Structure 1
Amino acid sequence: MEALAARLSHLDTEAGGTIRVVMFYDTLMRRRVDLPALTRASAALAECVVGLRLHGTGRTIRTAPDGRPPAHDPAPASTTLPITLDDEEIGTVWLERPQGEGPLDDLLLDRLSIAAAATLERYGPARTTMADPALVELVISTENDEAARARALRLLGLAVDRPLHVIAVRTPLPLDRIGALLCPTSPVKAAPLDEVGVVLATAVDRTRLPAGTYAGIGTGPDPHTSWTHARTALRLTTELRPVIDHRELGALALLAHIPHQVLHQDTDVTSIARLARDPEDLKTLDAYCSTGSLRQAARLLHLHHSSVSRRLDQIGADLDITLTDPDGLLRAKIALTSWRLLHDRPPTP
């Protein structure tokens, strides 16, 4: 590589420099070099420190022009550029040129970024988050045999013999960002499907999700069951409870199997539908049903417990349910859950 760089260095015009850079990276890509070799060759060509970082793994490579790791700490980057694969930013490349940006640095980094993406794809599976929706659908579909599902998992870069979480997501943010937040250290794949985001992950960190994102987590004996569980959990998410693991629902999950027309005819569910016309009343009842405690509900709502008590007295009268009675609280919780299953789009905060 160094010899090639030396031969091309005799081109001294701007056009010649452009040709030099393009030819250099075309040659590297034909030779199918790995990332360390790509970075070493780039540092020799740029005659300064070159850096490369992958978001998915945190792997960082910095190389000096002599092909060795730099003896000094990282300097401020003079030029940076993202590495993009399938419209997803998966890393960054940069130059540490002490005298500032050079005339061909943008071109050099552009070609380095393209070559790095091609290298990651070739030696993959690449650590991207977004996946082919058709492959994700193969994994969670009930119509495929185990061999087809296993092949789809392998193509996605996921282990066939490891437990798999399936997460149903609604979010205003890019789905690749949500996937990376949910599973920052293990393989994760995501794809949009039927207006819902699907995330396949081997581990889940639910505490990292940003506000405005709703997620239902499914962990079943197979991916299809997990997907069914995840969608049910998503339908029951609320502003106060934006992330639900299906296992937390217990027997309440059985309500998802009741036909909608039956739920529509229930008088308690009808009463909840009337109550829902006032978002504050609905939020108050939700907080009380979620905690079973007046004071804990008040803390969730950031209100004084006496104010919440007065609200609950009025809500109980409107529903004709004694909310302070254990049976009444259970009745309200079942009715509220049933209503959410009929109106399963989470509210906007």
Structure 2
Amino acid sequence: MTVWLERDNAPWANDAIILERLALAVRIRHGRGRREIDNRRHLGVLTERGSTPDEPLEASGAHGLVAARRYRIVAAPLFAVWGGRPSGPEDVIGTRFGPIHVVVVPEAYEPLRGSPVGVGVAAAAHGLDRSFRSALVALRLCDPPREPMVAADAYGGLIELLAETDDDAQRDYADTLDRVAQHSWALETVAALVTTQTVREAARVLNVHHSTLQARVDTIRIDLGFDPLQGFGRTRLGTAFLVHRLSRSTVLDMPTPGVMV
């Protein structure tokens, strides 16, 4: 299969990337595994929230998905770099973040390597729209090369909650952490606090003295207006931290030529 683009004058910096990703999208849409079904329609139905109850059942059956089993959506931009691509029904789905390459894999999927990649929660075949939404959030939380792949399961139910939260509510959460982010040490401190169990453990992760971290926590408490280490305060802090990361995510911006990660 051959694709091409034509333009007058000299090539532009991103031409090679654009051509390569166009070829990938065409191959996914029209290449391997194509059967006498409309793959675009069926996988689009499975990832679309507004489908009628019967449409996902028909679409999942057309892809050979079994009603009694659970599956996940793997989501990646077209410029993702794969070290081991997953196999399964796949397509390119249009989203508000741009075209996304999606693959349906079993709940217990084979190890895969790619960057950046988001893996959604497990769901029944007719409920893969939920897995798709969580995979998109997981993808936007990627931070290559430090964190090239994010699985929604690693965050419990928080990613699913964020997938269902509207933009206005997410902005409120992001604004909450903006008041803290004015301090140069704030975001790395919050990251340590939400990924460890105690202040002492967080201090070890940050390589600072316990008293230094305690002073930071006191400042964060004042800025937030609630205790980030007590009761639901820790959940509120973790949610605000994830929303802050989402609001500043650049993982879906196309890399410049020669800087593929």
TM-score, structure 1 as length reference: 0.46
Deviation, 1:200, is 0.8
Give the match for residue 123 of structure 2.
Answer: 220
Q: Identify if the C-alpha distance between structure 1 residues 243 and 316 changes in structure 2 by more than 3 Å, giving closer, same or farther.
A: same
1:176-235, Cα deviation, whole Å (9 max, x unpaired)? x5633xxxxxx423333233332211145586435x524141222422232233334445
Give the match for residue 187 of structure 2.
Answer: 282
SS of structure 2 residue aligned to 1:164: strand
Q: Which amino acid aligns with 2:121?
A: G
Q: Identify if the C-alpha distance between structure 1 residues 257 and 309 changes in structure 2 by more than 3 Å, giving closer, same or farther.
A: same
Identical-residue share of aligned pairs (%): 19
Gaps of 5+ in 1: 1-83, 89-117, 181-186
Matches within 5 A, 1:149-228: 149=56, 152-153=59-60, 156=63, 158-161=64-67, 162-170=69-77, 172-174=79-81, 177=83, 179-180=85-86, 187-193=87-93, 194=95, 195=98, 196-205=100-109, 208-210=112-114, 212-221=115-124, 222-228=127-133
The whole-number CA distance in structure 1 between the counterparts of 2:199 and 2:233 is 14
Q: RMSD of the TM alignment (CA)?
A: 4.5
Question: 1:141 pairs with 33, 36, 48, which one?
Answer: 48
Deviation, 1:295, is 4.3
1:69-120, Cα deviation, whole Å (9 max, x unpaired)? xxxxxxxxxxxxxxx9x758xxxxxxxxxxxxxxxxxxxxxxxxxxxxx9xx
1:10-64, Cα deviation, whole Å (9 max, x unpaired)? xxxxxxxxxxxxxxxxxxxxxxxxxxxxxxxxxxxxxxxxxxxxxxxxxxxxxxx
Matches within 5 A, 1:214-293: 214-221=117-124, 222-235=127-140, 242-246=149-153, 248-250=155-157, 253-254=160-161, 256-264=163-171, 266=172, 269-276=174-181, 281-293=186-198
Deviation, 1:320, is 4.4
The whole-number CA distance in structure 2 between the counterparts of 1:190 and 1:220 is 17
Q: Any conservation in 2 of the 1:269–1:339 contact (CA below 8 Å)?
A: yes
Q: Any conservation in 1 of the 2:72–2:104 contact (CA below 8 Å)?
A: yes
Gaps of 5+ in 2: 1-23, 254-260
SS of structure 1 residue aligned to 2:202: helix
The whole-number CA distance in structure 1 between the counterparts of 2:78 and 2:213 is 30
Q: Which amino acid aligns with 1:179?
A: R
SS of structure 1 residue aligned to 2:91: strand
Give aligned pairs, total.
216
Q: Which amino acid aligns with 1:159?
A: L
Matches within 5 A, 1:1-349: 133-144=40-51, 149=56, 152-153=59-60, 156=63, 158-161=64-67, 162-170=69-77, 172-174=79-81, 177=83, 179-180=85-86, 187-193=87-93, 194=95, 195=98, 196-205=100-109, 208-210=112-114, 212-221=115-124, 222-235=127-140, 242-246=149-153, 248-250=155-157, 253-254=160-161, 256-264=163-171, 266=172, 269-276=174-181, 281-298=186-203, 300-301=205-206, 303-304=207-208, 306=210, 308-309=213-214, 311-340=216-245, 342-343=247-248, 345=250
The whole-number CA distance in structure 1 between the counterparts of 2:184 and 2:109 is 30
The whole-number CA distance in structure 2 between the counterparts of 1:207 and 1:280 is 35
Does 276-285 or 222-231 show the bigger shift?
A: 276-285
Does 220-229 or 247-256 show the bigger shift?
A: 247-256
Q: Identify if the C-alpha distance between structure 1 residues 178 and 341 changes in structure 2 by more than 3 Å, giving closer, same or farther.
A: same
SS of structure 1 residue aligned to 2:70: coil
TM-score, structure 2 as length reference: 0.57
Of structures 1 and 2, the one scoring higher in RCO (CA 8 A, sep 6+) is: 2
Q: Which amino acid aligns with 2:85?
A: G
Deviation, 1:257, is 3.8
Deviation, 1:270, is 2.0
